[in-house]
A and B are shown apart, each in its own frame.
Chain A
Amino acid sequence: MASIRELARCIGLQGDISIIRNFYGYTRVPQGKQLSLSTQARLLKSSHIHLNLIRVGTNENGWFSDTDEQEIDAAVQTMRDIYARVNIGVGRVERYSITVAQANGRQDIDGNDEAETLTDEWTVPNDALDVFFVLTYAGTTIGLSRTDGSCDKDAKGMDGCVIAIEGDTITTGFVLAHEVGHYLGLDQDFDDNHSPDPNNLMYFMVPNGGQLTGGQGGVMRLHCRMRAACQA
């Protein structure tokens, strides 16, 4: 397992680590998912992205309900499965909390302006993409991101993604993968031939086929938020 330790160091993990909680960043093995350590190791030896999962409106201990935490775990694994198709990994996954008392009502998003405000007001100062999970998002939108977002967390504008917990693990996973895809430079619902493809991850409805083309993988790999392959 020496190479796992080296990979862990490569993604910024120090000291003794738990494979599930630290190496994958889950609270437990996501329900209905199988984890393959060799697949995760292979993907870290390719381009990968780190995520800060910022839960907005947690209890004072920093947690959502058990069901919501499981939904987030499953969503991240769904995203890992989708991105693996173009050989892109999800590396370090850390959890952060904004309690109800701190959130100033931002756990309930009533419009896209409020989602933008949330990313304007909060950030984690590290090299990972900020993903804010909120408890409700009114209207028909269930996730929001800038396309080709900035890597400068001191710059103006939306510097993260906002995702609603919808009570449906599959949907939340697809929304997470879709919105991060936008942040990494993918446009909405067009494939390489510029026509809508209902099977593509970037189609405007989710869940969809979750497919990514080689061209889309190439666009994501060029984004400044993408980490270089680990050499372990």
Chain B
Amino acid sequence: MPVNIVLPFEPLQGTFGDLIFSLDQINLIQNVAAGRDTSFSRIQAIKLLQTANFPDKVHDLQLLMENEQESPEIRHLAATGLYKVNTPEAVEILISNSQIQDERVLTGVMKGLGRIGNESALEAISRVRNSATGLAALQAEFAAVLISHRLGLAGNDLKIPDDSEFLQLPSDAARSVLVTKASEREAEVCLQSLSTQPFGIEYTEDSLYQIQCGQNNWMLVFNREFTHQDAVQTLQSRKAFPGVIATKNEETSSYSTAFLLLTSPAEQPNILNILIHRSTGEQIFSGTALVEGSKAEFSIHSIPRPGAFPVDIEGTFEGGKVELKTALSGTVVQQRRHPTKVIQ
């Protein structure tokens, strides 16, 4: 269980993430979220709005996000809440707010559009790419990449790193990465966690793979669209978003989408580019796959960055199933960044 704030009142039923409130409680939470009542924390009220059975929460969140008198924290949380609601109405609201001035709020809007937006969002995203600066522009760029890969659209291609850029695995400090098929129970826990973190794709329930790498526990989950026998042929024909890697947190016993697996056909015939990005857009791992019929033989390596560790993963992918030949990782990370000490 995660650590949660004590609720100001008992819900009718449910636990965090799945709460059901009475009408009076709903009114109170809406009033606190809107700042009309101060009987408990506004941030908590907004978080409850995101997770509970509110009939019209999209509009509550919209009002908060659009109100320029509110703090960037409140507005950013509202933007995040909107994409987690994941309805066509929420997409429309995010698109119509792609001209918000505040960089933090606009960053939240772009992140949301990347995750739940469709082709109709690309024009608004493109405007932000061209007009905004800083993080909002970067998130707009990645939002366009995500939508284009998810829908297999032309344009918005990713930079393909050169082999020479990969982190080298030291031969004397490598350990095995354990990859096993997930149990039914663990797969269920993972898919339940991912259901609250929309990325516009549907996951398969059949082949989930647990990856254990040092203290990290991850789960490889494929997009249902790429689990059929001809999946590799589809990957060869267009850009794609074939799956995600979720990280398991021991404290919460839940999963969170950590890495997005993106592919594109390479210029050379029968080769696929594999690009693995953080959910926030940074490129982490990369590789290629050689296609032979319905099978793709892949290799994946790390890209240098603070906190990165080298990996050497080789295997095959066919019909939504993965078989590994090599799975090694380094034990030491690249130097992390150091925050600035503040003189007290």
Contacts and interface: CB of A to CB of B under 8 A. Distances in A.
Interface stretch (B72-80, B89-97, B123-131, B152-160): B72-80
B161 to A, nearest CB: 19
Contacts of B341: 94-96, 124
Interface string A106-126: 001011111011001111110
A178 interface: yes
Most chain-B CB neighbours within 10 Å: which of A111, A155, A157, A168?
Answer: A111
A231 interface: no
B338 A123 contact: yes
Contact of B6 (A96, A112, A205): A205
A221 B105 CA distance: 43
A113 B280 CA distance: 10
B336 interface: yes
A136 B76 contact: yes
Interface string A138-162: 1111111111001001111110000
Interface in B126-150: 135, 139
Interface string B51-83: 100000000000000000000010011001100
Contact of A97 (B329, B333, B337, B339): B339
Contact of B258 (A62, A98, A113, A153): A113
B189 interface: no
A138 B5 CA distance: 13
A40 to B, nearest CB: 16
Interface string B322-344: 00000001011100111111101
Interface stretch (A4-12, A18-26, A79-87): A18-26
Contacts of B278: 113, 117
Contact of B307 (A120, A139, A168): A120
Given A141-B2, A144-B251, A156 B331 contact: yes
Contacts of A95: 341-342, 344
A142 B44 CA distance: 10
Contact of A157 (B4, B7, B197, B214): B214
A147 B111 contact: no
Contact of A155 (B50, B196, B247, B333): B333
Contact of B42 (A25, A63, A167): A167
Contacts of B340: 62, 96-99
Contacts of A124: 338-339, 341
A63 B7 CA distance: 31
A116 B80 CA distance: 18
Nearest to B279: A113
B72 to A, nearest CB: 8
Contacts of B338: 122-125
Contact of B4 (A96, A146, A206): A206
Nearest to A62: B342
Given A22-B344, A96-B341, A113-B279, A142 B258 contact: no
Contact of A111 (B44, B250, B279): B279
Contacts of A27: 344
Given A121-B337, A156-B215, A204 B1 contact: yes
B250 A142 contact: no
A182 B249 CA distance: 12
Contacts of A123: 336-338
A189 B251 CA distance: 10
A122 B338 CA distance: 6
B247 A146 contact: no
B215 A145 contact: no
A211 interface: no
Contact of A140 (B47, B77, B139, B213): B47
9 contacts: A102-B339, A113-B278, A114-B256, A120-B336, A122-B336, A136-B76, A144-B249, A204-B3, A205-B6
Pairs of residues from A and B, 7 with the lowest C-beta to C-beta distance, nearest first: A157-B215, A204-B1, A120-B307, A96-B339, A113-B258, A112-B256, A113-B256
Interface of A: 18, 21-22, 25, 27, 54, 62-63, 94-99, 102, 104-105, 108, 110-114, 116-117, 120-125, 135-136, 138-147, 150, 153-158, 166-168, 171, 175, 178-179, 182, 188-189, 204-208
